[in-house]
Structure 1
Amino acid sequence: MTGTRTDELARLAELHGVAVSYRPAPDRTVTVPTSAVVAALHALGVDATTPEAVRAALADRERALDERLLPPTVVHWAGDTHDPAALTALPPGTRVRIETEEGEESYRASAPLVAGLPPGVHRVTATAPDGRTARAHLVVAPDRLPAPPGRSYGLLVQLYSLLSRRSWGMGDLGDLAELAGWAGRVAGAGFVQVNPLHSAVPGAPTDPSPYRPSSRRFPDPVHLRVEDVPEYAYAEDRERLAGLLERAARLRAAVLDRGALIDRDAVWELKREALETVLAVPLGPGRRAAYDAFRAAHGQALDDHATYYALAESHGPDWTTWPDGLRDPRSAATARARAELADRVAFHTRLAWLTDGQLRAAQRTAREAGMPVGIVHDLAVGVHPEGADSWAQQDVFAAGMSVGAPPDAFNARGQDWGLPPWRPDRLAACGYAPFRDLLRALFGYAGALRIDHVMGLFRLWWIPQGSPPTEGTYVHYDAEAMLAVLALEAGRAGSVVIGEDLGTVAPGVRETLQRRGVLGTSVLWFERDWTGDGRPLPPERWRADCLATATTHDLPPTAARLTGDHVELRDRLGLLTRPAAEERAEAVADAAEWLALLGSLGLVDSVGLVDSIGPVDSIGPVDSIGPVDSIGPVDGLGQVDGLGPVGGLGPVGGTATGPPGADEEAEVRAVHRFLLRTPARLIGVWLPDGVGDRRPQNLPGTCAEYPNWRLPIADREGRAVPLEELTAAPRLRALLEVFAQLRGG
Structure 2
Amino acid sequence: MTGARADELSRLAEVHGVAVSYSPAPDLTVTVPASAVVAALGALGVDATTPEAVRAALADRERALDARLLPPTVVHWAGDTHDPAALTALPPGTRVRIETEEGEESYRASAPLVAGLPLGVHRVTATAPDGRTGHAHLVVAPDRLPAPPGRSYGLLVQLYSLLSRRSWGMGDLGDLAELAGWAGRTAGAGFVQVNPLHSAVPGAPTDPSPYRPSSRRFPDPVHLRVEDVPEYAYAEDRERLAGLLERAARLRDAVLGEGALIDRDAVWELKREALETVLAVPLGPGRRAAYDAFRAAHGQALDDHATYCALAETHGPDWTTWPDGLRDPRSEETARARTGLADRVAFHTRLAWLTDGQLRAAQRVAREAGMPVGIVHDLAVGVHPTGADAWAQQGVFAAGMSVGAPPDAFNARGQDWGLPPWRPDRLAACGYAPYRDLLRALFRYAGALRIDHVMGLFRLWWIPAGSPPTEGTYVHYDAEAMLAVLALEAGRAGAVVIGEDLGTVAPGVRETLQRRGLLGTSVLWFERDWTGDGRPLPPERWRADCLATATTHDLPPTAARLTGDHVELRDRLGLLTRPVAEERAEAVADAAEWLALLGSLGLVDSTATGPPGTDEEAEVRAVHRFLLRTPARLIGVWLPDGVGDRRPQNLPGTWAEYPNWRLPIADREGRAVPLEELTAAPRLRALLEVFAQLRAG
TM-score of the aligned structures, taking structure 2 as reference length: 0.98
Asked if the contact 2:604–2:618 (Cα under 8 Å) also holds between the matched residues in 1, the reply is: no
CA distance in 1, matches of 2:606, 2:286: 51
Q: Kindly state the Cα deviation for residue 340 of structure 1 after the two structures are TM-superposed.
A: 0.2
CA distance in 1, matches of 2:654, 2:462: 23
- Give the SS at the match of 1:662: coil
- Residues 110 and 54 of structure 1: is their aligned pair in 2 closer, same or farther, counting only changes over 3 Å? same
1:488-523 CA deviation, whole Å, 9 max, x = no partner? 000000000000000110000000000000000000
1:73-122 CA deviation, whole Å, 9 max, x = no partner? 00000000000000000000000000000000000000000000010000
CA distance in 1, matches of 2:2, 2:161: 47
Q: Kindly state the Cα deviation for residue 656 of structure 1 after the two structures are TM-superposed.
A: 18
**Match runs of 1:29-44 below 5 Å:** 29-44=29-44
- Give the SS at the match of 1:155: strand
- Give the SS at the match of 1:4: helix
Which residue in 2 is equivalent to 1:316? 316
1:568-613 CA deviation, whole Å, 9 max, x = no partner? 000111110000000000000000000000000xxxxxxxxxxxxx
Q: Kindly state the Cα deviation for residue 189 of structure 1 after the two structures are TM-superposed.
A: 0.0
Runs of 5+ unmatched residues, structure 2: none
CA distance in 1, matches of 2:51, 2:598: 61
Asked if the contact 2:563–2:613 (Cα under 8 Å) also holds between the matched residues in 1, the reply is: no
1:211-260 CA deviation, whole Å, 9 max, x = no partner? 00000000000000000000000000000000000000000000000000
1:657-691 CA deviation, whole Å, 9 max, x = no partner? 99999710000000000000000000000000000
1:380-412 CA deviation, whole Å, 9 max, x = no partner? 000000000000000000000000000111111
1:681-736 CA deviation, whole Å, 9 max, x = no partner? 00000000000000000000011110000000000000000000000000000000
CA distance in 1, matches of 2:515, 2:291: 40
Q: Kindly state the Cα deviation for residue 4 of structure 1 after the two structures are TM-superposed.
A: 8.8
Asked if the contact 1:697–1:711 (Cα under 8 Å) also holds between the matched residues in 2, the reply is: yes
Which residue in 2 is equivalent to 1:740? 692
Which residue in 1 is equivalent to 2:581? 581
Asked if the contact 1:652–1:718 (Cα under 8 Å) also holds between the matched residues in 2, the reply is: no
1:597-640 CA deviation, whole Å, 9 max, x = no partner? 0000xxxxxxxxxxxxxxxxxxxxxxxxxxxxxxxxxxxxxxxx
- Give the SS at the match of 2:292: helix
> Is 2:138 the partner of 1:186?
no
CA distance in 1, matches of 2:606, 2:297: 47
> Is 2:424 the partner of 1:424?
yes
CA distance in 2, matches of 1:219, 1:653: 43
CA distance in 2, matches of 1:414, 1:27: 20
- Give the SS at the match of 1:193: strand
Asked if the contact 1:221–1:355 (Cα under 8 Å) also holds between the matched residues in 2, the reply is: yes
- Residues 308 and 458 of structure 1: is their aligned pair in 2 closer, same or farther, counting only changes over 3 Å? same
- Residues 658 and 501 of structure 1: is their aligned pair in 2 closer, same or farther, counting only changes over 3 Å? farther
> Is 2:684 the partner of 1:728?
no
Structure 1 stretches of 4+ moved >2 Å: 1-5, 649-662
Asked if the contact 1:450–1:499 (Cα under 8 Å) also holds between the matched residues in 2, the reply is: yes
CA distance in 1, matches of 2:167, 2:131: 65
**Match runs of 1:705-720 below 5 Å:** 705-720=657-672
CA distance in 1, matches of 2:426, 2:364: 36
Asked if the contact 1:656–1:716 (Cα under 8 Å) also holds between the matched residues in 2, the reply is: no
- Residues 660 and 234 of structure 1: is their aligned pair in 2 closer, same or farther, counting only changes over 3 Å? farther
- Residues 281 and 719 of structure 1: is their aligned pair in 2 closer, same or farther, counting only changes over 3 Å? same
CA distance in 2, matches of 1:348, 1:652: 52
Q: Kindly state the Cα deviation for residue 6 of structure 1 after the two structures are TM-superposed.
A: 1.4
CA distance in 2, matches of 1:326, 1:652: 62
Q: Kindly state the Cα deviation for residue 474 of structure 1 after the two structures are TM-superposed.
A: 0.1
Asked if the contact 1:18–1:474 (Cα under 8 Å) also holds between the matched residues in 2, the reply is: yes
- Give the SS at the match of 1:227: helix
Which residue in 1 is equivalent to 2:327? 327
Asked if the contact 1:403–1:418 (Cα under 8 Å) also holds between the matched residues in 2, the reply is: yes
- Residues 244 and 3 of structure 1: is their aligned pair in 2 closer, same or farther, counting only changes over 3 Å? farther
- Residues 283 and 559 of structure 1: is their aligned pair in 2 closer, same or farther, counting only changes over 3 Å? same
Asked if the contact 1:543–1:680 (Cα under 8 Å) also holds between the matched residues in 2, the reply is: yes
- Give the SS at the match of 1:41: helix
RMSD over aligned Cα atoms: 3.4
- Residues 527 and 652 of structure 1: is their aligned pair in 2 closer, same or farther, counting only changes over 3 Å? closer
- Residues 657 and 402 of structure 1: is their aligned pair in 2 closer, same or farther, counting only changes over 3 Å? farther
CA distance in 2, matches of 1:505, 1:12: 25
Which residue in 2 is equivalent to 1:674? 626
Which residue in 2 is equivalent to 1:654? 606
- Residues 203 and 2 of structure 1: is their aligned pair in 2 closer, same or farther, counting only changes over 3 Å? farther
CA distance in 2, matches of 1:84, 1:387: 38
CA distance in 2, matches of 1:728, 1:544: 32
- Residues 321 and 96 of structure 1: is their aligned pair in 2 closer, same or farther, counting only changes over 3 Å? same
1:526-575 CA deviation, whole Å, 9 max, x = no partner? 00000000000000000000000000000000000000000000011111
CA distance in 2, matches of 1:244, 1:724: 23
1:179-214 CA deviation, whole Å, 9 max, x = no partner? 000000000000000000000000000000000000
- Residues 4 and 581 of structure 1: is their aligned pair in 2 closer, same or farther, counting only changes over 3 Å? farther
Which residue in 2 is equivalent to 1:415? 415
- Residues 518 and 650 of structure 1: is their aligned pair in 2 closer, same or farther, counting only changes over 3 Å? closer
Which residue in 2 is equivalent to 1:292? 292
Asked if the contact 1:169–1:251 (Cα under 8 Å) also holds between the matched residues in 2, the reply is: yes
TM-score of the aligned structures, taking structure 1 as reference length: 0.92
Asked if the contact 1:199–1:214 (Cα under 8 Å) also holds between the matched residues in 2, the reply is: yes
Q: Kindly state the Cα deviation for residue 650 of structure 1 after the two structures are TM-superposed.
A: 35
Asked if the contact 1:565–1:658 (Cα under 8 Å) also holds between the matched residues in 2, the reply is: no
- Give the SS at the match of 2:615: helix
Q: Kindly state the Cα deviation for residue 744 of structure 1 after the two structures are TM-superposed.
A: 2.7
CA distance in 2, matches of 1:112, 1:127: 17
CA distance in 2, matches of 1:91, 1:585: 67
**Match runs of 1:252-271 below 5 Å:** 252-271=252-271
Q: Which deviates more from structure 2 when the two are superposed, residues 259-268 or residues 406-415?
A: 406-415
Aligned length: 697
CA distance in 1, matches of 2:692, 2:657: 40
CA distance in 2, matches of 1:312, 1:2: 49
Asked if the contact 1:229–1:354 (Cα under 8 Å) also holds between the matched residues in 2, the reply is: yes
CA distance in 1, matches of 2:604, 2:525: 26
- Give the SS at the match of 1:24: strand
Asked if the contact 2:154–2:193 (Cα under 8 Å) also holds between the matched residues in 1, the reply is: yes
CA distance in 2, matches of 1:5, 1:538: 51
CA distance in 2, matches of 1:468, 1:533: 35
CA distance in 1, matches of 2:591, 2:604: 25
- Residues 660 and 588 of structure 1: is their aligned pair in 2 closer, same or farther, counting only changes over 3 Å? closer
- Residues 590 and 380 of structure 1: is their aligned pair in 2 closer, same or farther, counting only changes over 3 Å? same
CA distance in 1, matches of 2:55, 2:533: 51
Asked if the contact 2:603–2:626 (Cα under 8 Å) also holds between the matched residues in 1, the reply is: no
CA distance in 1, matches of 2:283, 2:45: 47
Q: Kindly state the Cα deviation for residue 47 of structure 1 after the two structures are TM-superposed.
A: 0.2
Q: Which deviates more from structure 2 when the two are superposed, residues 658-667 or residues 382-391?
A: 658-667
Q: Which deviates more from structure 2 when the two are superposed, residues 404-413 or residues 543-552?
A: 404-413
Asked if the contact 1:563–1:658 (Cα under 8 Å) also holds between the matched residues in 2, the reply is: no
Asked if the contact 1:164–1:722 (Cα under 8 Å) also holds between the matched residues in 2, the reply is: yes
CA distance in 1, matches of 2:405, 2:229: 42
CA distance in 2, matches of 1:415, 1:135: 39
Runs of 5+ unmatched residues, structure 1: 601-648
- Residues 468 and 658 of structure 1: is their aligned pair in 2 closer, same or farther, counting only changes over 3 Å? farther
Percent identical residues? 95
Which residue in 1 is equivalent to 2:355? 355
Asked if the contact 2:598–2:604 (Cα under 8 Å) also holds between the matched residues in 1, the reply is: no
**Match runs of 1:515-664 below 5 Å:** 515-600=515-600, 663-664=615-616
